[in-house]
Amino acid sequence: MKLISLRHPLNSKPVASDFVELDIPTPECPDQGILVRVVHLSLDPYIGSRLRGKHMGEAPPTPGVEAIPGAIVGEVVQSNLDGLSKGDWIQSMEGGWQEFVSLKEGAFRKLDPTQAPLASHAGVLGMPGLTAWAGITQLANVGEGDTVLVNAAAGPVGGTVGQIARIKGAERVVGIAGGAEKCAIVTDTYGFDACIDYKIDGWEAELKKALPDGLSIFFENVSADMAITALDNARTYARGVLCGLAAGYQVQSQDRVPNPLPMGTIIGKRAQLFGLVVYDFYSKWDEFAGEAGKWIQDGKLAFAEDREEGLENAPALFERLMNGQNRGKAVVTVSPEKA
Ligand SMILES: NC(=O)c1ccc[n+]([C@@H]2O[C@H](COP(=O)([O-])OP(=O)(O)OC[C@H]3O[C@@H](n4cnc5c(N)ncnc54)[C@H](OP(=O)(O)O)[C@@H]3O)[C@@H](O)[C@H]2O)c1
């Protein structure tokens, strides 16, 4: 089977040529586990840091040996577990860039393949969707009358944040995204009230106009600078979810500019800031997927995908993701849903 590994250890932003394809024997089905055919592979921004050993203390994969880590949706081809049989569908955070994976009990969730399109379990119903739901409902406790601002809004986290906010009663939902094409996804596909293109001069003034009464919740995916802009537009008692720093993941530590926390603004506005790590919410995944699966069926929750077919195309799509050039959720379909 095919597996994609690192060609060499990394210490800078990954590019497609940093990866190498290997041909290795298909793994055995473990005694207490399952063998899975990988169908959809999720590419996520944190993997860029993970490959350099800079994500939550997790070691990078061994170059030329181990698969690049990644969440997957796959079909069980062999099972040594009660309650799981050939043909069942699972989602796992321990899949990786490979055609087959052996998984031990506890390393996956069983899926209902009729709940929603299978690839959505890599995005809107997968880890990015759970992140969005956890931050906006469990931490920020969004509800009636809220005005929500979220950036990286064309992506799976940002796009889902805004839509869930609307479903839960938010009055106004505004996104920030890079470029007209992404802003069109935010307003036309996700149905936000407005999207501000931060690549255009004067965007901060446009943002103020889009938030005439200020914001009550902001959801930060990109940078401390952006969070400061959000705080400037915040009402008193605003809540802020600090979810990601996409603009900083690939910056070398010596090039980082210290960014002072605007303590006076936070205190003066009595703002509450929540750090979010999705791991804390894995126990609620089925609850979230049940709720969000229904929203998809009812046409209330949309998702955009930037999809490539074939494992060999993962490195190029990953390079685009690292440069913020993805349009929606980056997904690789490794093998067809119907084998
Ligand atoms: N805390 C957690 O547990 C957790 C879990 C999952 C995800 N996250 C974070 O949530 C954020 C969104 O994730 P996602 O999967 O939905 O990603 P995504 O939106 O598909 O991709 C990241 C986006 O960040 C923006 N960006 C801004 N500056 C960038 C730069 N210098 N380089 C690359 N991208 C840049 C780009 O959008 P624009 O062009 O629109 O700016 C890019 O498309 C990320 O920061 C991710 O790490 C956190």
List domains and CATH numbers for the chain: 2-123+303-333 (3.90.180.10), 127-280 (3.40.50.720)
Residue 176 has pLDDT above 90, yes or no: yes
| Percent composition of the chain: helix, strand, coil (DSSP 3-state, to 5) | 30, 25, 45
- pLDDT of 167: 98
- pLDDT of 87: 98
152 lines ligand 1 (CB under 6 A): yes
User: Could you tell me the pTM of the whole model?
Assistant: 0.97
Residue 185 has pLDDT above 90, yes or no: yes
How many angstroms is it from 125 CA to the middle of ligand 1?
Answer: 17
Residue 258 has pLDDT above 90, yes or no: no
- pLDDT of 260: 78
Residue 248 has pLDDT above 90, yes or no: no
157 lines ligand 1 (CB under 6 A): yes
Please give the backbone phi and psi of residue 105, each rounded to the nearest 5 degrees, phi first.
Answer: -55, 140
**DSSP strand pairing (215-220 vs 234-242):** parallel
* 96: confidence class by pLDDT, cuts 50, 70, 90: very high
Beta strands in 133-171 (DSSP E): 147-151
Residue 338 has pLDDT above 90, yes or no: yes
49 lines ligand 1 (CB under 6 A): no
How many angstroms is it from 45 CA to the middle of ligand 1?
Answer: 6
Residue 256 has pLDDT above 90, yes or no: no
Contact of 177 with 152, CB cutoff 8 Å: yes
* 42: confidence class by pLDDT, cuts 50, 70, 90: very high
Average pLDDT on 67-71 reads 98
What ligand 1 atom has the least distance to the C-alpha of 326?
A: 43
- pLDDT of 252: 73
Place of tokens 């209330």: 300
45 lines ligand 1 (CB under 6 A): yes
Residue 255 has pLDDT above 90, yes or no: no
Contacts of 136 (CB under 8 A, 6+ apart): 142, 148, 161, 164, 165, 168, 217, 219, 241
- pLDDT of 170: 98
121 lines ligand 1 (CB under 6 A): no
What ligand 1 atom has the least distance to the C-alpha of 245?
A: 45
Residue 249 has pLDDT above 90, yes or no: no
Angle between helices 285-297 and 156-167 (to 10 degrees): 80
C-alpha 154/C-alpha 326 separation (Å) is: 9
155 lines ligand 1 (CB under 6 A): yes
221 lines ligand 1 (CB under 6 A): yes
- pLDDT of 32: 95
Contacts of 286 (CB under 8 A, 6+ apart): 109
Residue 206 has pLDDT above 80, yes or no: yes
Query: Among candidates 106, 43, 47, which has minimal Cα distance to 73?
Result: 43
What ligand 1 atom has the least distance to the C-alpha of 46?
A: 47
Beta strands in 24-146 (DSSP E): 33-42, 72-79, 89-92, 100-104, 109-111
Q: Specify the DSSP class assigned to residue 186.
A: I
Residue 313 has pLDDT above 80, yes or no: yes
Write the pLDDT tens digit of every residue in 266-286.
Answer: 999 999 999 999 999 999 999
**C-alpha 64: how far from chain center:** 27
And the tokens for 175?
A: 């996104």
And the tokens for 185?
A: 């996804």
- pLDDT of 37: 98
How many angstroms is it from 219 CA to the middle of ligand 1?
Answer: 12
C-alpha 301/C-alpha 276 separation (Å) is: 22
Residue 259 has pLDDT above 80, yes or no: no
131 lines ligand 1 (CB under 6 A): yes
How many angstroms is it from 60 CA to the middle of ligand 1?
Answer: 20
Residue 88 has pLDDT above 80, yes or no: yes
